Structure 1
Amino acid sequence: MSLHIFKETLKPCIKNLSSSLNSTSITPNFDPIIPRKPPKSTLSQQLLRLQDPETLPQPQKPHCLPNQQPQGHSDEEEKEEAEEPDGFGRPAKLGQFQFEHTGPFEPLVLSSQGEIPVVQVPASINCRLLEHQRVGVKFLYSLYKNNHGGILGDDMGLGKTIQTIAFLAAVYGKDREGVDSTIMDHVGKKGPVLIICPTSVIHNWEDEFSKWATFSVSIYHGANRDLIYDKLEAHAVEILITSFDTYRIYGSILSEVKWEIVIVDEAHRLKNEKSKLYGACLEIKTPKRFGLTGTVMQNKIMELFNLFDWVAPGSLGTREHFREFYDEPLKHGQRSTAPERFVRVADKRKQHLVAVLQKYMLRRTKEETIGHLMMGKEDNVVFCAMSELQKRVYSRMLQLPDIQCLINKDLPCSCGSPLTQVECCKRTVPNGVIWPYLHRDNPDGCDSCPFCLVLPCLVKLQQISNHLELIKPNHKDDPDKQRKDAEFASAVFGPDIDLAGGNTQSESFMGLSDVKHCGKMRALEKLMLSWVLHGDKVLLFSYSVRMLDILEKFLIRKGYCFSRLDGSTPTNLRQSLVDDFNSSPSKLVFLISTRAGGLGLNLVSANRVVIFDPNWNPAQDLQAQDRSFRFGQKRHVVVFRLLAAGSLEELVYSRQVYKQQLSNIAVSGKLEKRYFEGVQLHIRIARNFKASFLESAIYFVIYLISSLPVKSSNYMKIRDTNMGIILVQKKD
């Protein structure tokens, strides 16, 4: 029977039922129907649901006879909807989740009473803003009104882009309901707006402008730059969007334009005063410079000065004054052995710095703003036992002359001199494996010897901790480097060279996808099995593209459907990959490069985040987490940071904790416990490289539980998951 014939057959039945009800004057007592959980949708549809439900069209109730349960909506199904097991983490109660209501359909007035013209956010935009976003818009306008810039330092995912667009719409008198007939007049009076952002979010800015306001937007990027510049000179552009790299190269041209406002997205890119990008941005002549960033400080306190000296020149004094008055006292006062006098001085300077920063910066966290709208996040540090082959290779690496030179640098020299080894005979390592290549053009060594070995050795130790394939030569490198890497691989593989697949990169699918010789992949295999059984979706981050290649083969072997995004992914395809992953139930895993996909991606369909290899910069890992834990996430997010137990990665994580401490002290004025001796951290951890693997792992777990800069009650017990891992779990 065709569908058309089937519909025609049903029509008489419906007519007979309605006439029967009318003739007997029976008013059926319909059971109240609880609306089903809304499906995943676009951001615009989610924002529409934020409005008062009384103003929205009510769902039509199905026609049911008295005491009849609606078809397809049983009590058992409601229980399944209300609670969904969350796999390796706590259960998430989805049925209780609701967004708060947004404001009424009326403008948000920013200007003072009696001020003409009235500056206001259009009602069409204001009604879709959350309360913290309205506060952010008012803050931006107060800076603009006082003719200086500042920082919107909200956590990632709180809508800094939307707040900025709402602020610009108010300043330029926009209304979403209709195109302003005086668009070009506004450009002529006020001048255009320049937005500098990462390449990956250029099109995201363009899309958001099209959704929220009626601006004339152009992108200064790619082959059509000259045409866009001509359009800019003709006053036909209100908003010009460009990338960091493009502005670094062509900043001298763009700096000649009289910009009304300049906005730098991910403004922490301006942390280094010696970079070409920072120098180019200093040439911008407008005082109305605004920075958007969720990580105001990443590595050191002096980054604060660089950023604020750009948005509000002179607000923190001179560079030397800032270093002497803030930087040095705060660092010395945070040392675990600091005298009480140093601690008191640091506390006073911290309070003074926070008071100054609050004049030019608005900083909010998710917990303060939309914490009640989200299901929460759980942070897990996973210590993965390295494979037996990894342990042997790691031990041989530590015995290389290059590493031994660094470990024993402070010991007395063997020649009988009163000097240390690094000051006497062991300054150079001609019999090493790494040192001769670094100084192939300078056999006598360099001025920084042997400390020039530190970075190359750290990189090799991290690679061994993640996967042995990473230390093998890369065919894209020059022949000399490939030859050097092959010699290094042979030295650390030793008698296990055949077991490791030789000293050249393997292309064997079965070999690369096997988890036997990689401790982290063995742990990931067990975790993935648990998540897939419970319907979880996973974001899998790695800093290494080669590691992503290996993980891709692992996922193919296990039969998991996945997407992938790295530096080679074209910019115009990235958003389609994100949309496909969010909308497709079959896509379980998203492989993402930390460097390419750490910014601007909204992946709220995933509720599991894996950081495969930790980064020295904690902001990189935090940005990766917030691809999932952001506004619109309806499930409980669980993060897993994989660390190779007993390896250098433990030191990397400790460094992250220390840097986050400094950031909390300088930016937020929080009181942090003093567990570290300056940036060198615990020297005992570095010396544990000489200890056995088990001793090192046990020591560090005890150290971590007892000395993280949070209350001990915030950490749950260590759980043995029988997966070859030790898990330290943080409470919400």
Structure 2
Amino acid sequence: MSLKSFKEILKPCAYQSQSQSQSSSLYSQTSSTLIPRKPPKSSLSQQLLRLEEDYNPIPTLLPTKQSKEISQRKQRPPHVDDVIDEKNGDDEEELKDLETQNGFRIARPKLEAPQFFDPTGPYEPLVLSESDSDEKPVVQVPASINCRLLEHQREGVKFLYNLYKKNHGGILGDDMGLGKTIQAIAFLSAIYKKDEEHDTTTDPNTNKQKTKNPVLIICPSSVIQNWETEFSKWSTFKVALYHGTNRDTIFNKVESHGIEILITSFDTYRIHGNILSEINWEIVIIDEAHRLKNEKSKLYEACLAIKTRKRYGLTGTIMQNKIMELFNLFDWVVPGGLGTREHFRDYYDDPLKHGQRSSAPERFVKIAEERKKHLVGVLGKFLLRRTKEETIGHLMMGKEDNVVFCAMSDVQKRVYRRMLELPDVQCLINKDMPCGCGSPLKQVECCKRTVPNGVIWPYLHKDNPDGCDSCPFCLVLPCLTKLQQISNHLELIKPNHRDDADKVKKDKDFASAVFGSDIDLVGGYFQNESFMGLSDVQHCGKMRALDNLMASWIIKGDKILLFSYSVRMLDILEKFLIRKGYSFSRLDGSTPTAMRQSLVDDFNRSPSKQVFLISTRAGGLGLNLVSANRVVIFDPNWNPAHDLQAQDRSFRFGQKRHVVVFRMLAAGSLEELVYTRQVYKQQLSNIAVSGKLEKRYFEGVQDCKEFQGELFGISNLFRDLSDKLFTSEIIQSHDKQEKDDAEIEKQTLSDFGMCFLPPQSRETFSLESETRDLGIVYAHRNEDIIGHGRGCNVTQEVGTSTEIPILPLVAKKKPAPHENGNGSHKMKQYRLVARFMGMEVVEFSKWFLSASVGERERILRDFKRRKEKMPLR
């Protein structure tokens, strides 16, 4: 098509005053000259420019007076680049004539062009092989993948390749949400030459004898489809799933080198591992590799039979419960790299645990410090561990992890005590006492080994009245479950009429024993089917606190993730949300897999969705809920990794707001012991994996009968803590830096939320009724308890130590010698910051209570800069 013909086509758009007949006639005259346009052969950049134009609105007509401004922008009418491609050398003057038609100019509003590619990195390959290497062609990550990698991901790919060159395995231990999957795919793409120039799947000259063996990927069944999707998105591998009914066909293709990547699940490999272990794999990658923590499991034994030394694990929780889990994991990755199991236990495990004891002798502490440094150095050869704060912290607004201890209701406390007085529990508590029959044996070895008069024991042994081999320890788990249910909600221990008759009778007998005279107050023996009864927060301490907290969050426009381990508890919380009129979504184990992503997308997109109810077991992996900025974990788990995974559903890349987590615990109940064990386990993990300094809070030593302390042993599990603040007393009694601050040593309900107020202001400052009746007796920020230091030589980070405490109940610094008991120096600083803000002290205190952590830190930074330039008086 000539440029003249193109000009004629545009005329009807410019002369809007002409009649329709004239336009028709003009079109009829020019239509005969039209030639169907062929797609031009253009560069990638020109194709992208045309693709951007498709997102712009229909061209509009602008008057000549505005054309001068637009001409400075050098815009061209639609598809001018197409005309240049076809004419290839038309006069530039004709193009200028084309831009203006009788006083009007064709242009479009200047809008921000969509980003088709994330401008993370340069569009060039990431070379992994060294320049002096003999390997040709070079090993490199394709440019199409490298341009989308963040810097920490490139470092992860290099780490995996360096291990591969040395014929070693290793662990990529990045935090959840840092892209371990894409790092693994980028690494495999480089190894298998999946770039445009050297693609072994498309190059006809490739020597088939040099074809590498296939790759095996073992992962949870819930993320199998995600792995397959990511491979199809990022590379050109031949991928197959060994999962389902067509396993034999897939296996034959693997043997004939028709498949490069084979993906299977943990359960499938545990069952069919003997078949898959016959193949010589080039590389084996296990996602969520912490599943290999138990050396006695069938999965672990099956994975040991894999025929390759290039074994790689991906996990964000390298150690969950015990230090010996590290040995099991690394002994699979690098067989023999940490010595024998006995050597590891004697040289690392025992010294580190005993050195962390609160009353450990100084020589124990020194030995533990030496062994810790040595272990971190050994693990560092095969482990790359990065946190969100170290990698993408500058791209996120941060996270605050609050642990909130809620007062149980009066009826909950009475039911909890009655539970501890049952013969079943008393048998466990007094198991080591001398037997009352006069025998020198302990009760557990003599007359009290069985509990025929108990409430729980007879139903466990209805077919074996003489008891089992593990009596009475078979009662531990059922009793712990009942105590946790009472701590959460009394409805959880009532019988369900849908169950079989035997279970209904068992649960009814238990409910009768623990409810006692309160049976009418709690609505009878059976589960309350009344909507108003289930949604009432009167008899549940944690729900009462949650009610008040959510009311303040919803007003501010916050979006909330609400996790619970119990599906029955989710049912109760659902009734509560309906009664309050909150818009919510729900996801649990019964939610079809095909529907889960649509629920997530709907919650992220819809401003009207305020709450997402999620089962902790169903929502541990694969959910990206970055639209939520409040996370509530209603009931804690013995394994701290479960609670951390729940938090990371919101705190991950793409989160635009500050995330605040609330872990809700029933004060004085078993849940306090669950949390303190979480602290103990996380501290051991930080010590063994990262070499961090941790405060020595606890006297107990894991798996050591001589030092059970306050954490371990059956007597601690069933201790009545209702008359004390168990966690508060432990933390404050062993924290040497905070014991001199009298106001923070003992906090009560009236102190919650008022810790930021100076003493002079507390008398005049009145909390709203909702805040006053929160039902919270104690709270602290988890990151102030765990992760005291980032390494063996700890230095305080800039901005983390402030004159005004950011957290309830935890002071950051020991008062200086010149400060008196009333904190006059802090009070002076507080008044100066208030004056800097142009507020009175009480007014500033109110603002400080409602401000986010980011706003507080920003004001303090501005205050410090101002103070350095011009001291305030």
TM normalised by structure 2 equals 0.70
Moved more, 349-358 or 416-425: 416-425
**Structure 2 CA distance for partners of 1:310 and 1:461, relative to 1, 3 Å:** same
Bigger relative contact order, structure 1 or 2 (CA pairs below 8 A, ≥6 apart): 1
**Structure 2 CA distance for partners of 1:26 and 1:447, relative to 1, 3 Å:** closer
Structure 1 unmatched ranges of 5 or more: 1-7, 31-69, 73-98
Partner of 1:678: 701
CA distance in 1, matches of 2:15, 2:528: 65
Partner of 2:777: 726
Partner of 1:295: 317
| SS at structure 2 position matched to 1:242 | strand
Partner amino acid, structure 2, of 1:108:
L
Cα deviation digits, residues 469-489 of structure 1 (max 9, x gap): 222235675543333222111
Matches within 5 A, 1:273-292: 273-292=295-314
2:192 to 158, 172, 175: 172
Cα deviation digits, residues 264-311 of structure 1 (max 9, x gap): 111001101111211221121111111000110000011111101111
1:265 to 278, 283, 287: 287
Matches within 5 A, 1:602-621: 602-621=624-643
Alpha-carbon distance, 1:153 to partner: 0.6
Asked if the contact 2:170/2:334 (under 8 Å) is kept, the reply is yes
Moved more, 439-448 or 551-560: 439-448
Partner of 2:63: 18
Alpha-carbon distance, 1:531 to partner: 1.7
Alpha-carbon distance, 1:105 to partner: 1.6
Q: Which has the larger radius of gyration?
A: 2
Partner of 2:341: 319
Partner of 1:112: 130
CA distance in 2, matches of 1:217, 1:205: 10
Partner amino acid, structure 2, of 1:267:
A
Asked if the contact 1:109/1:121 (under 8 Å) is kept, the reply is yes
Matches within 5 A, 1:37-116: 102-115=120-133, 116=135
Asked if the contact 2:153/2:183 (under 8 Å) is kept, the reply is yes
1:469 to 491, 502, 507: 491
Partner of 2:868: none
1:181 aligned to 2:202?
yes
| SS at structure 2 position matched to 1:595 | coil
1:703 aligned to 2:748?
no
Alpha-carbon distance, 1:260 to partner: 1.3
Asked if the contact 2:583/2:610 (under 8 Å) is kept, the reply is yes
2:407 to 385, 403, 416: 385
CA distance in 2, matches of 1:15, 1:663: 63
CA distance in 1, matches of 2:680, 2:142: 44
CA distance in 2, matches of 1:204, 1:128: 18
1:231 aligned to 2:258?
no
Alpha-carbon distance, 1:318 to partner: 1.4
Alpha-carbon distance, 1:609 to partner: 0.8
Partner of 2:583: 561
**Structure 2 CA distance for partners of 1:553 and 1:10, relative to 1, 3 Å:** farther
Alpha-carbon distance, 1:570 to partner: 2.5
Alpha-carbon distance, 1:509 to partner: 2.7
Asked if the contact 1:661/1:709 (under 8 Å) is kept, the reply is no
Alpha-carbon distance, 1:111 to partner: 0.9
Alpha-carbon distance, 1:190 to partner: 0.9
Partner amino acid, structure 2, of 1:652:
V
Matches within 5 A, 1:341-380: 341-380=363-402
**Structure 2 CA distance for partners of 1:258 and 1:278, relative to 1, 3 Å:** same
| Sequence identity percentage | 73
Alpha-carbon distance, 1:177 to partner: 10
Alpha-carbon distance, 1:497 to partner: 2.2
Alpha-carbon distance, 1:247 to partner: 1.6
Cα deviation digits, residues 369-426 of structure 1 (max 9, x gap): 1111110000111111222221221121111111222233344444455554444433
1:161 aligned to 2:212?
no
Cα deviation digits, residues 201-238 of structure 1 (max 9, x gap): 12222222222222222222223333433433342322
| SS at structure 1 position matched to 2:404 | strand
Cα deviation digits, residues 441-497 of structure 1 (max 9, x gap): 333334433333222211110010011122223567554333322211121112222
| SS at structure 1 position matched to 2:618 | helix
CA distance in 2, matches of 1:591, 1:133: 32
Asked if the contact 1:176/1:214 (under 8 Å) is kept, the reply is no
CA distance in 2, matches of 1:519, 1:264: 42
CA distance in 2, matches of 1:347, 1:272: 27
Asked if the contact 2:697/2:731 (under 8 Å) is kept, the reply is no
**Structure 2 CA distance for partners of 1:10 and 1:250, relative to 1, 3 Å:** farther
Asked if the contact 1:401/1:433 (under 8 Å) is kept, the reply is yes
1:629 aligned to 2:662?
no
TM normalised by structure 1 equals 0.83
Asked if the contact 2:409/2:538 (under 8 Å) is kept, the reply is yes
Task: Please provide the CA RMSD for this pair.
Answer: 3.3
**Structure 2 CA distance for partners of 1:215 and 1:573, relative to 1, 3 Å:** farther
Partner of 1:124: 144
Cα deviation digits, residues 549-584 of structure 1 (max 9, x gap): 222222222222222222222223322222222222
Cα deviation digits, residues 93-147 of structure 1 (max 9, x gap): xxxxxx9963222111111223222100111111111111111000001111111
1:534 aligned to 2:520?
no
CA distance in 1, matches of 2:139, 2:541: 59
Partner amino acid, structure 1, of 2:775:
G
| SS at structure 2 position matched to 1:696 | coil
| SS at structure 1 position matched to 2:381 | helix
Asked if the contact 1:106/1:122 (under 8 Å) is kept, the reply is yes
**Structure 2 CA distance for partners of 1:127 and 1:615, relative to 1, 3 Å:** same
Moved more, 358-367 or 384-393: 384-393
Asked if the contact 1:473/1:482 (under 8 Å) is kept, the reply is yes
CA distance in 2, matches of 1:11, 1:321: 90
